Amino acid sequence: MTNSTTHTEDTSPYDAFDSRKLHEAAERALDHHFGKSDLPEAPRREGLFSLNPDIDAEALLANASEDLLSISIIAADLADDIDGSRRSVALELSRMADGVRLMEGTLDHIEVRNLAAKF
């Protein structure tokens, strides 16, 4: 018994694929099966983060203050575990975070004083 296998060449009637045509064909297939969306595309925003306009400034500042406190604590804890110049860097990061929180407190104090002056 002999096993004869047929050898076929991997040939294509096209010499090269045109990626633009492939993309257009894929878009047509998707539109056919899923339909075109009537919704306009959302504009692409720049940057990694964006603010929700429905959140008030006080909530944002409170969240930022808590984040800065966490950074300060983490850096201070890290400074306890290391020595030399890296310890100095960790301590300075902690102090910088505390300094920013101090500025927030100063702004709050000014705002309270301005409100009190109105009444």
Q: How far is CA 17 from CA 11, 12, 20, 23, 32, in A?
A: 13, 10, 9, 11, 22
Residue 7 lies in a domain: no
The 10s digit of each residue's pLDDT in 9-28 is 666 656 667 788 888 888 88
Q: How many other CB atoms are found less than 10 A from the CB of residue 43? A: 6
Cα–Cα distance measured from residue 16 to residue 78, given in angstroms and rounded to the nearest whole number: 58
Residue 18 lies in a domain: no
Q: Is the pTM of this model over 0.75?
A: no
Please give the tally of structural domains in the chain. 1
Residue 44 lies in a domain: no
Residue 59 pLDDT: 82
Residue 62 lies in a domain: yes
Furthest C-alpha separation in the chain:
108
Residue 99 lies in a domain: yes
The 10s digit of each residue's pLDDT in 49-97 is 777 788 887 788 778 888 888 999 999 999 999 999 999 999 999 999 8
Q: Which residue has the tokens 């894929």?
A: 26
Residue 5 lies in a domain: no
Q: Which residues contact 79 (CB under 8 A, 6 or more apart)?
A: 87, 90, 91, 94
Residue 36 lies in a domain: no
**Three-state secondary-structure class, residue 23:** helix
Residue 55 pLDDT: 85
Residue 39 lies in a domain: no
Could you list the residue range(s) of the whole structural domain that residue 109 is in? Answer: 57-118
